Chain A
Amino acid sequence: MTKTFTPNDVLRYLYKETNSAESKELEEAMHLHSNLLDQYVQLADIKEQLDQVRKFPSESTIQAILEYSDTYDSILS
Chain B
Amino acid sequence: MMQNSIGDSKLISLYKTGNEEAFAELLNRHKSRVFTTIYLIVKDKYVAEDLMQETYIKVIKTIKSGKYNEEGKFLPWILRIAHNLAIDYFRRSKRYPTIIMEDGSSVFNTMEFSEESIESKQIVRDTHEKLKQLIQELPPAQKEVLVMRHYMEMSFQEIADTTEVSINTALGRMRYALINLRKKMKKYNIAYDQNLYPQ
- Bound-complex Cα distance A73 to B179 (A): 49
| A interface residues, how many (CB within 8 angstroms) | 30
What are 28 A-B residue pairs whose CB atoms fall within 8 Å in the complex?
A7-B175, A8-B175, A11-B175, A11-B178, A12-B156, A43-B179, A46-B181, A47-B178, A50-B181, A53-B132, A54-B36, A54-B111, A55-B32, A55-B35, A55-B39, A57-B52, A57-B110, A58-B49, A61-B49, A65-B27, A65-B53, A65-B57, A68-B56, A68-B60, A70-B20, A72-B60, A72-B61, A72-B64
Q: Please report A residues at the B interface, Cβ cutoff 8 Å.
A: 7-8, 11-12, 15, 17, 42-43, 45-47, 49-50, 52-58, 61-62, 64-66, 68-70, 72-73
B35 in contact with A50 (CB, 8 Å)? no
A53 in contact with B179 (CB, 8 Å)? no
User: What range describes how many residues of B lie at the interface?
Assistant: 35 or more
- Residues of chain B with a CB closer than 8 A to A56's CB: 31-32, 35, 110-112
